[in-house]
Each structure stands twice: as structure tokens, then as C-alpha cells.
Amino acid sequence: MATFPSEVLTRTKNGEVEVRSLIDRGRYVRYNYLDPETGESMEGGKVKLVLLSDAGRTEEYFIIPTKSKRDLLIPASEKGARRIWDGTRAVDL
């Protein structure tokens, strides 16, 4: 059995011990969708989350608000390079 430092160990609700293990690091981008005429949020507040790993991989998810006030995270297909509005101009993702 491997030995791990105590600061990376955590206990589950069932009392089992687990190790918090890094999958990867990176940065992220979140954006929502606005009506081009009104500037108001569209599609019920849906948000796109793009995870950009230091290794160059991307993962994309939709964050969908639900009536129960909990958000639903749904995997989305990768769309590649695109530009998004930062409030004043178009910027790279």
C-alpha cells in the first residue's frame, strides 16, 4: 500500500478514507449567451464552462440552472477556437 501525506487524505460520508489526487491543472473560461438585440441573458441562464488544461486539452460543459436551485453540469462537444464578447470587444477564448 502506498503512503500519502495526511493533508491529502479525506473521509467520505461513509467513513472511508480517500486520497485527493490531481488529474490536471489549467485555467477556465465561463460565458453565457445574450440576446443580440436586448443584451439580456438567453436560454434560461445557461452558461458554458470551458476547462483548458496546462497540457493543451479542453473539456466543455453546459451549466444549466434547475428549478430546484441546483445546477446541472452537462458535457458538451468541443467547438474549437472561437471569440467571445468581454463587455467591450471580442476576445479569444
Q: How confident is the model at residue 15 (pLDDT cuts 50, 70, 90)?
A: very high
Q: How confident is the model at residue 81 (pLDDT cuts 50, 70, 90)?
A: confident
Does the pTM of the predicted model rise above 0.75?
Answer: yes
- Counting DSSP H helices and E strands in the chain, the numbers are 0, 8
Q: Is the dihedral of CA 34, 38, 40, 41 positive or negative?
A: negative
Encode pLDDT of 32-75 as tens digits: 999 899 988 887 889 999 999 999 899 999 999 988 988 999 99
